[in-house]
Every structure is written in structure tokens, then in C-alpha cells.
Chain A
Amino acid sequence: MRRCRVNNAQEQAAKRRSLALVFLVGLLLLGVGAEMVQAVEVPLPTKEDMVYGDFPVVGRRVAVWVIAQLHLMFGAFVVGVPLFILIIEILGAATKNQQYDDLAHEFTRLLSVAFSTTAIFGGILVFFLIGLYPTFMNFLASIFFPSMVIYVFLFFGESFSMYLYYFGWDSLKGASRNVGAVIGTSALSVLVLYPGLLLLMALPSLFMGGGWAVSFPVSYVLAGVLFVALLAHGLRPGKSSFVQSRKWMHICFGILLNYFGLILMMISNSWATFMTSPSGIDLDAGVFSGTTWDAMRNFTWMPVNLHRFIANIAFGGSVVAAYAAFRFLAAKRNSPERAHYDWMGYIGNFIALIGLIPLPFAGYWLGREIYGYDQQLGITMMGGIFSWLFILQAVLIGALFLGANYYLWLGMERIPGSERYRKFTPVMLGVLTVCFLIWLTPHSLVASLEEARKMGGAHHPMLGVFGVMSAKNTVVNLMILTTFLSFLLYRRGNKGDRVPFAEQSNASKVTLMIVAALGIVLMWQLNAPLADPALMTGRLILWAFESLTVVVAVALTLNDRGTVGQALLFAMSAIVVVFYGVYGYYVEAIVRIGFSILQVSSVLLVLLVATTIDIVIFRGAPLVGEIRWGRIPERAQYVLFLLATSFTWLMGLMGYARSGLRTHWHIFNVMRDYSSDAFTPTLGYACGVISIIVLVFLLLVSFIFWLAHMGSVGHAQEEAVLHGGASPALQPGGGAD
């Protein structure tokens, strides 16, 4: 206890210093920010200007490739894991479950080492780039210098908020009515809520005009009002307020940390995306003319930001799950430690899946924007040499889906009562298998000459049909549906007889109605508004079909036949997905692209309504038995390894695809690569390099985990965590409820 107090005092002092620094950094940033909107003219270097350095043995390209990819992976780790921690901490605070809080805390220990590793790789990368590609870096720096300065200063913000978050974990608990604390918390709250405010203000300007010029000032005023309101709320005498909550203050630090991480990611993304889709270049005059901000706002910037953000959630979750799997396997059978790590693996996997499901759609958007920016880039990516990477990606993603389902099925071992749902396993596996086989069938096949002659070309007359977008969209949607079904069955594994619906609370019933109505409105928004009257009838029929199914499903739920309603919803979505998949072959490409949205939206509708029905109908159902954490077969843990390895490998492959797309250009169509590396390496070679990178990364991450583990040995907290884990009172499905 006494030691704790000393720590607290030190932390307080550290915090004050940190806050002062953050303030100072803010001032500096404002100055540099002004610089960003200053237009510059930078001439393009000519062939004669280009200078390259040499790197021994592996050559300059591989040197930069390896370091950049490692930096990116650690960057993803440093952005992804805090996001994971924050989600878990908020869950813990919301459900008042200490176990979540401990889990989150356990992972903050990783951050400082991971953070410094990222910085080390970043540093090496900068030196390598300057040494090996000096002319090119000079050109980039002349355009992006202000953003680079901001980047460096944001690093301070990131590290200090990280230390605040980490060291403040134990002390920032309970409530404080201290005026200073309330002011601080209010200010912090305004800071973390400000982006939301700004977005809110941007909405009216969409309709009324004015743009950001209006939104910004209004948002400042609103932020001020919010601050005063929060302050008043917190200082009301004798009343408690969330502003007084020190935990909330701590969560604010967590949000701040994630903001810093995200902005850092976005700034560095802008440099990379500028190389792929440069803006502001006047090729005739041979200059870049514009502001730093113009260069940052290039065509693929936002899609890459979104794609990476979602991928980081999945990545963070999968790394956590793999760590848990490792500890699970190392722990003794039937020990409380095993139970804890089983649970941790489950949560990690769950978060990873949440990220995985929207990821293909974000990737699809990015792909579209790349096509939109330049058809040539698009074809290089999807039709040219890089298309083989996407086939590899398909195989890995298919394996991920299979693995995730398998993990859920094995997880049923720990749930008494789940035997009742075992009979669905072969069916779901069958659907997944057929989908997987279609999913991995490439459009043009690798075939020997004899085989190609029998097929009459590189396309198989029958299987070639599975190679195009329509088939892929169809099966990926079916795989998502099946995975969702697996999850629903897992979730109801230990639920006994349902309470009659009439006895459910009114709130449940109202929620169900609202969600159903929302779903129907959403479908109208996604399906109906279309300028082309030729397509209108079909869309209306679709909308009516979907809405009718939702209404019938809700009606069935009201009559205690909720599971039948869910089955109807699944059937509806499967029909819509398959129908548009087949119909897609009979229409032109531009219409077909629209179909993918119809397919996805029907799946989303089912996800939304069926989940709600599930929650409502199983509310208050008696349990067949408690979940026996730790009872999952050991082979399930290897799925978690597979998940993490696949994710990392995919990041490497896709990172290579994104960068390699430029082929022999430093900056696409603008600055040619005149070095001896200006060629696209063979697929096998690239995969070899990527695999080595993945291996190095996994080894380093294991080392970091080991360090963190070593640091925690003997720490009293470890004990507490384990005791928490020994008496799990968690529902299956964890955070989803």
C-alpha cells in the first residue's frame, strides 16, 4: 500500500510535466500547421539528377522493403493493440467487470517496448531512405516537410499520452470531486469528443453550404459550450457526475492515445499514397505546385486510412489471441491460468473477427479508387502480375474463415448444452467448403500446355465461371453468413428453454421493433435510390422481399417462434446473395458492380435483425451450465496462431502489392525509378522476402511478449488477474451482448 502511494506521487509529478509538454507541443503544431497551407513549387528531378546509394548483399530495394514492412507491422501493432485495449477497458467499465479491466491493463505493458521498437525501425527506415534514395527523398521532403515536422511532434504526444495511460491505470480509479480534476477531465472530454463535434458540424454544411469555413468556427463555439456544460455538470454540489469519474479521465487518455496513433498513421499514409496516386503534379512544367495539404489529400489516402484502421483492429485482436494461445498451451491442464488464457484467446479472436468481416469491403473501396485513379494501376493489380497475390490472399482468407468457424465449434466443448447444436456442424462445414473451393478458384489457371489445350485456353470452361467477381462476392457473403450462424449457435449453446416472449420486458419488444424498422429504412437507403428507372422495379421488388421477411420474422418472434424467424432471415439473405450472384453473369459490368452492394446489404440486414432477435428471445433464459473456460481442446489454440500468422502474412503480401503496383516508378507516372531495381521481382522471390519479414516480425513480437511477461513475474497484479480468471462469470459471446 505504501509503495503504491509513493508511486502515485511520482505519477502525479510526471503527469504534470507531461501535460505541460503536451501544451507546448500543441503551440508548435499550430505554427507548423500554418506552414502546411503554404503553396510551394518543387521542380521534378530529371534522370540526370537521380542519385542512388548502394546496399551490400541484398541490395537497396530489399533493404528498404524489409525495414519498411517491419516498421509498418510494428506500427500496426502499436496502433492496433491500444485500440484493442481501449475497447476492452470501455467494455469493462460499462459492464463493471474487473476481468476486462485486468485484461486491458495486462496488455498496456507491451506498449512501451513495442513503441520503441516501432520507433527504432522508423529511424532505420529514414536513414536507409536518405542514404539509398537521396534524390527521391529530397523531393518528397520538399513537398511534405511541414507534415513531417508535425509527425515528429505528434510522436511526443503519442508517447506522453501512452505513459499517462499506462502509469495512470491504477491511480485513476474511483471518483474525485477536486475542482482541478473536474476541470481537467472536462477539458479532456471536450478534446476527445471534438472530432465528433466537427463531423456533426460538417453535416449541416453539406446541405446549407459554407463548407469547412463555417464548420470549424461553429465547432469551436460548440466545444466551448460543451466544456462549460461539462464543468457545470461536474461541479454541481452534492451530485455525482461522470466528469468526476477518474476512470473516465483514464479512458479519455486512452482515446487520446488512439487519436495520436491514428493521426500518425494517416500522415505517414499520405506520403505512401502520394507515391501511388500523386496529386498536384504538372507534368508538362515538370513541377509539383500546391500545398502540403493538397499533396496529402490524394486519391487513395482515405481508402488506405480506412483499410488500415480496420485491419489494425483485426491485427491487434489476432496478436492478442495468439499470445493467449501460447500461454494457454504453456499452462497446466485444468489450471486457473488456462481458463484465463482460454478466455483471453476467445476475446482476441472475437475482436479480430469483428475487424475481419468489414475488411473485404474496405479493401474493395480501395481497389475501386485505385481503378478510378488510373485504369492501368487497377489492371496491374487485379489482372496483371499482382493478381496472383490476390489468389494467395483468397486462399488465406478462406482458411481464416474455416479456422474461425472451427474455433467456435471446438469452443462448444466448454459449453454444456451445446451438443444440441452439433448436428449443424457438417452442414455448415459443407457450405463453407463449397464456398472455399469456389473462392480459391482463379480465373486464369496455372496449367501445363497439355492441360491448357484440353481446356481450350487458360480458362477452364466450367470452373472459369467461378473466377469472376460475381462468384467471389456470392461465396464471401455466404461464408460471412455461415460464420455468423456458427456464432449464434455457439452463443445459445448453454441457454435452456426460452422465456415466453410475452414475459419479456417492454424495452426488449420496443428495441426489436425499432431495429426492424431501422433495417427496413436502411435497406431503402441502400437499394432504392437509383437514377436509372430501368433498374428501379427490380430494386423495389428486392426491397419489398427483404422488408416482408423482416416483418414476418418479427411477427414470428412475437409468437415465440423467433428461431424460425431467424431461419427465414438467413434463407432470405442466401436467396438474395445467390440470385444476384447468378444474375450478375447476365448483365454488364457496371450493373454487376451495383449487385455486390445489394448482396452485402442483405447480409448486413440479417446480421442486424437476427442478432437483435437472438438477444431478445434468449434474455433471461436459464443456463444449462456455466461455461467451463479452459476446457477447449488444445488444437483450437493452433487456429489462433494460424489467424495471427495469416494476418501478418497478408499484411506483407498486400503491402507488397500496394507498393509494387507502381512497377518502375518511384511516384507513379511522375518520377521514374532509374535504379537497377526498377523491375518487378518474380512472385516466388517476393513471397520469399515477405515470409522472412513475417518470421522476423513474429520472433520480435514473441520477444516483446516474453519481456512483458518477465516484467510481470512477481508483480502482485499477476496474481489478481489469475484469480479474476479463476471465477469467470462471463457469458459466451463476451462483449457482444
Chain B
Amino acid sequence: MRLSIHLKSLLTLIAAIFVFSVVVPYVSAPIPGQLYGWYVITTLFVIYLYVSSSEASWEEFISPVRQLLLARTALMKPLRIVVFIVVPLICGWYFSTWAAGGATPPGGLRVIHPTPPSSVNFQGKQLVLQDISVSPIREDEAHLAEHIENGRIIYYENCFFCHGDALQGKGHFAQGFNPAPADFQASGTIAQLSESYLFWRIAKGGPGLPSESTPWDSAMPIWEDFLTEEEIWQVIAYLYDTTGHEPRVMDHGGGDHGGGH
């Protein structure tokens, strides 16, 4: 059985919308409206490309429309009148409801990994972050396990209220804050960052963020008021140890790693 191109297009569209609005939310979480919009527009665009990718299929696709517009048969004439009345009304309805849907609250465009400064003043001491490719406590390999253990205690005395026992950003206070506390287990957070970056974020907290990261919203405390430099490095080591992620090491000089260049 050969499906008509209209039916094929319609089925493709329905299948795509089903995946975006039912399957993905069912499997994990709903897609944010903006991205969902992009997905649907892309799908429509692709369907257009499909029907118009050859003259034959385009002709098949457009000929009913053309017949309707030319309206040479007795059936088509009233149909055309109906369509000519209904379509503008649908447009009008869409435009006006779109306006009535009205005001959407501001926000959204928040930068997740903002740019760190090249150096920070930590409790009066100048630390050049760029020069710290790995945490200084890693140099003391013999005591690394102790450092990690100490980091664990620091974590449970300070961090787990928000970031949670499971390090997934679901501590018992997490729901009170917006943005939500970082999920360290996810592939997009500490797995993408270097230890010196974490040091900056922990030491300076929310108020130390640049304005594109909405420092006024972040509930991250300024930990340099609570912890020593070593304690911060210890808790960083604990985070990487427990999640199993590797801290990112920035390769200076370009082309030293990865081969091929």
C-alpha cells in the first residue's frame, strides 16, 4: 500500500510530536518550551524539504491546494469559500490567543559555567588560578586518602543540606533555592571543569559570580568565610573521588595532547 504524501507528512509530524511531548517526558523530563519549539519548527521545515525535494512529490503535495484555489468543480467552489473563511479566522484566533497568553516572566538566559577570573584573592592571599592545573593536595599523594576523608566530613558538615547525600543536588534544602544546587553526578558539571574552577566557585560563592550568572539568585555561600584553603581543596578532592569523575586538566600550549596535530 502506498501512502499519499500528505498522509506521510502528517504521520511524520504526529510521530515527531509524540516523541517530543510524550516519549521524552515519560522517559526523563519534559522538554523546555523553547527547545520544544525549535524541535517542532525543525520537523516542519524538514517535512517541507521532504515534500519539495523533487518536482514529482511537490506536484503531488501542492496539486490539491491548487485545485482548491482554481475551484473548477462544483464540489470545490463551496469548499474554497469555507476554507477562505476558516483559515483567516484560525489565524486571527491564533494571533489573539498568543497575545492573551501574554506576559511571560523574565529570566532563563543564565550562564551556567561563567568565566573565572585569572586570579582570586583568597583570605588576603593572591592565587593565580590559571597556574593551578591540578589541586595542590594531589601533590601529597601519600596523604590523599586522608584529605579525601577530611573532605567528606567537610561536605557533610556544610554542603549536603543543598547538594545532597547522593551529590545529586537534591539535599533537603534544595527545593528552596533557584537556581537549583549543582548535581555533581551529572556529566555536565564538575566533569567538565578543572579543580581551580571549582576552587573559585566554592571560595567566592554566589556573590562572586559575574552578572550574566545572576549572582543575586545563587544560594552558594562564600566559603572562604568558613573554610581554609586546604579544606576547600579537600572537599574538591572528595567530590571527584565520590562521583568518579576526573577533573579537567587544561592543556597549555595547544597540540601537546590528543595527537594528530
Contacts and interface: CB of A to CB of B under 8 A. Distances in A.
A588 interface: yes
Summarize B's interface: helix, strand, loop or mixed: loop
Contact of B24 (A432, A463, A633): A463
B187 A465 contact: yes
B178 to A, nearest CB: 6
Interface residues of A, number: 78
Contacts of A379: 113-116, 197
A597 interface: yes
Given A372-B254, A590-B257, A448 B32 contact: yes
A429 B115 CA distance: 38
A20 interface: no
B112 A383 contact: yes
Contacts of A468: 187-188, 192
Interface string B217-261: 000000000000000000000000000001011111111011111
Interface string A15-47: 000000000000000000000000000000000
B97 interface: no
Nearest to B189: A459
Interface in B136-195: 169-170, 178-180, 182-183, 186-188, 191-192, 194
A658 interface: no
Nearest to B32: A447
Contacts, number: 203
A387 B114 CA distance: 10
B102 interface: no
A456 B163 CA distance: 12
Interface in A361-390: 365, 368-369, 371-376, 378-380, 383-385, 387-388
B29 A455 contact: yes
B15 to A, nearest CB: 11
Contact of A594 (B50, B118, B191, B257): B257
Nearest to B212: A385
Nearest to B113: A383
Contact of A530 (B30, B43, B254, B259): B259
B259 A445 contact: no
B6 interface: no
B115 A425 contact: no
Given A448-B104, A448-B108, A593-B257, A459 B250 contact: no
Given A384-B113, A448-B33, A588-B248, 10 more contacts: A375-B130, A406-B53, A445-B32, A445-B34, A446-B109, A463-B35, A593-B257, A597-B258, A633-B52, A635-B52
Interface of B: 24, 27-35, 38-39, 42-43, 45-46, 49-50, 52-55, 58, 104-105, 107-118, 129-130, 169-170, 178-180, 182-183, 186-188, 191-192, 194, 197, 210, 212, 246, 248-255, 257-261
Interface of A: 365, 368-369, 371-376, 378-380, 383-385, 387-388, 395, 402, 406, 409-410, 412-413, 422, 425-426, 429, 432-433, 436-437, 440-449, 451-465, 467-468, 526-527, 529-530, 585, 588-590, 593-594, 596-597, 601, 633, 635, 663, 669, 680, 683
25 contacts: A372-B251, A372-B252, A372-B254, A375-B130, A379-B113, A380-B115, A384-B115, A385-B111, A385-B114, A395-B38, A413-B55, A425-B53, A443-B112, A444-B111, A446-B109, A463-B31, A464-B188, A468-B192, A530-B259, A590-B248, A594-B257, A594-B258, A596-B258, A601-B260, A680-B212
